[in-house]
């Protein structure tokens, strides 16, 4: 067995070499506060040493629970950017647990973190019930849960109106498609994804009423091989513009190979395939995290759910890719102005669903609650929502 030791040394050397060349993600996730394995004792040990010190300085101790790793280049990457922003603003160091499955394990990890932190931030929809259950047992800890709808006295949820940016992405997609077939890789048939697809379709419709959106469900947030299969099935169908409500850039990479255009989600994904990049909605969580921590410090925090928007900067639109002509960029820019001015509502009647039923009457604007419960597709979208 001794011979395997040199092998491991070589591999480990490659590993650290790789992280050096990886720019941000590797070096930053290697800090003492972050641990790759949820089951390792490192997180508990490391932070229990840190927590008293932080309390002495009057700063709360903060913990983050991630569904993936910051290396995903999308969803978790943006939360990690938000964490770093918050750390810089308040001069504190947060604890991070990566790759936490949305299962019973999550509850155990959230509970461990609650035992020695003042604020626990859970960054995936699927942590909702686990977060709530721990929140009820730890009334002195503040819980911020991303994307859900349940609250408690010490737990709130936060998300943003990313459908505004999906609408703008739709304008670019509608202008750029030549085949009038646009593909959409959706993660799960849940309202969050459905209203983004509908907003995307409305954006397309505003510039290109003939284009059809085909939707496939991958049933995963993050699995590049599956996402790629989904993207290829859409490209084979003749789609020349793709969008993926997924956490990885697999769809953009697949589109690039076929000379199609694509956008992803969560984060500016230009770097994965610049020539093939369209644009997509992005998140900017940092200011919210910093503000929530400040409010907890000031004692002004409430459990009022937070819904950010393009106006307050929580939601953004990635810069349009280098292959997108200027007139399209200007069109998107002017629509963005209207949204920022508050002069434009994305979900405004008349809206007709796939079956031809009038869902929203002429002139009526959907309320936020109605949007957050959306479970139907607009006319012109091909794809089924499992009921």
103 binds another protein (CB under 8 A): no
CB of 99 to another protein, least distance (A): 7
203 binds another protein (CB under 8 A): no
> What is the spatial distance between Cα 262 and Cα 266, in angstroms, rounded to a whole number?
14
Say whether 351 sits in a helix, a strand or coil.
strand
CB of 383 to another protein, least distance (A): 7
- Pick from 42, 48, 71, 360 the residue near another protein by CB under 8 A: 71
71 burial type by CB count under 10 A (0-12 exposed, 13-18 middle, 19+ buried): middle
- Pick from 44, 147, 305, 383 the residue near another protein by CB under 8 A: 383
> What is the spatial distance between Cα 369 and Cα 127, in angstroms, rounded to a whole number?
21
36 binds another protein (CB under 8 A): yes
> What is the spatial distance between Cα 63 and Cα 65, in angstroms, rounded to a whole number?
7
142 binds another protein (CB under 8 A): no
Torsion-angle region of residue 131: left (phi > 0), alpha (psi -120 to 50) or beta?
A: alpha
Phi and psi at 370, nearest 5°, equal -65, -40
237 binds another protein (CB under 8 A): yes
> What is the spatial distance between Cα 69 and Cα 172, in angstroms, rounded to a whole number?
30
Q: Which of 52, 113, 115, 123 is nearest to 86 (CA)?
A: 123
Say whether 203 sits in a helix, a strand or coil.
helix
Compare residues 36 and 287 and give the one whose CB is closer to another protein.
Answer: 36
CB of 217 to another protein, least distance (A): 4
281 binds another protein (CB under 8 A): no
- Distances 12 to 3, 6, 83, 306 between C-alpha atoms, Å: 15, 10, 28, 43
The answer to whether the bond into 90 is cis (omega within 30° of 0) is no
Q: What is the largest CA-CA distance in the chain?
A: 75
217 binds another protein (CB under 8 A): yes
9 binds another protein (CB under 8 A): no
92 binds another protein (CB under 8 A): no
User: How many chain residues interact with another protein (CB under 8 A)?
Assistant: 57
CB of 306 to another protein, least distance (A): 28
- Pick from 38, 60, 73, 203 the residue near another protein by CB under 8 A: 73
CB of 360 to another protein, least distance (A): 24
14 binds another protein (CB under 8 A): yes
Torsion-angle region of residue 73: left (phi > 0), alpha (psi -120 to 50) or beta?
A: left
273 binds another protein (CB under 8 A): yes
205 and 59 Cβ atoms separated by less than 8 Å: no
Compare residues 229 and 291 and give the one whose CB is closer to another protein.
Answer: 229
CB of 289 to another protein, least distance (A): 22
Gyration radius of the chain over CA positions: 22
CB of 37 to another protein, least distance (A): 8
> What is the spatial distance between Cα 256 and Cα 272, in angstroms, rounded to a whole number?
9
Compare residues 89 and 226 and give the one whose CB is closer to another protein.
Answer: 226
Q: Which residues pair with residue 262 across a beta bridge?
A: 242, 277
291 binds another protein (CB under 8 A): no
Q: Residue numbers of the site for another protein (CB under 8 A)? A: 1, 3-4, 7-8, 11-12, 14-19, 21-22, 25-26, 29-30, 36, 69, 71-74, 77, 99, 189, 214, 216-217, 219, 222-226, 228-230, 232-234, 236-237, 248-250, 253, 257, 271-273, 382-384, 386
């Amino acid at each position: 067995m001794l011979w395997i030791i040199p092998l491991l040394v070589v591999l480990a050397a490659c590993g650290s070499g790789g992280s050096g060349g990886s720019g941000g993600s590797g070096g930053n996730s290697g800090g003492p506060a972050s641990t790759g394995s949820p089951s390792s004792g490192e997180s508990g040990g490391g932070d229990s040493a840190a927590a008293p010190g932080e309390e002495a300085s009057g700063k709360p101790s903060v913990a983050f629970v991630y569904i993936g790793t910051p290396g995903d280049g999308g969803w978790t990457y943006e939360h990690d950017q938000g964490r770093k922003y918050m750390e810089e603003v308040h001069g504190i160091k947060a604890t991070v647990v990566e790759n936490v499955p949305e299962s019973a394990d999550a509850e155990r990890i959230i509970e461990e973190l609650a035992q020695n932190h003042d604020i626990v931030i859970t960054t995936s929809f699927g942590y909702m019930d686990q977060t709530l259950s721990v929140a009820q047992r730890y009334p002195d800890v503040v819980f911020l849960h991303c994307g859900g709808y349940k609250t408690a006295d010490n737990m709130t949820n936060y998300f943003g109106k990313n459908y505004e940016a999906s609408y703008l992405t739709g304008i670019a997609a509608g202008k750029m498609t030549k085949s009038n077939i646009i593909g959409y890789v959706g993660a799960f048939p849940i309202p969050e994804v459905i209203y983004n697809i509908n907003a995307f379709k409305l954006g397309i419709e505003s510039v290109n009423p003939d284009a059809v959106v085909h939707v496939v469900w991958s049933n995963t947030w993050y699995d590049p091989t599956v996402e790629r299969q989904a993207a290829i099935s859409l490209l084979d169908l003749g789609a020349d513009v793709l969008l993926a409500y997924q956490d990885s850039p697999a769809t953009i990479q697949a589109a690039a190979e076929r000379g199609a255009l694509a956008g992803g989600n969560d984060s500016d994904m230009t770097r994965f395939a610049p020539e093939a990049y369209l644009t997509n909605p992005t998140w900017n969580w940092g200011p919210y995290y910093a503000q929530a921590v400040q409010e907890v410090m000031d004692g002004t925090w409430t459990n009022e759910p937070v819904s950010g928007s393009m106006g307050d900067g929580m939601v953004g639109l990635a810069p349009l890719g280098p292959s997108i002509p200027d007139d399209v960029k200007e069109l998107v820019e002017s629509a963005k102005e209207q949204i920022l001015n508050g002069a434009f509502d994305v979900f405004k009647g008349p809206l007709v669903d796939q079956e031809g039923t009038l869902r929203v009457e002429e002139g009526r604007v959907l309320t936020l609650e109605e949007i957050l419960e959306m479970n139907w597709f607009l006319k012109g979208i091909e794809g089924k929502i499992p009921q």
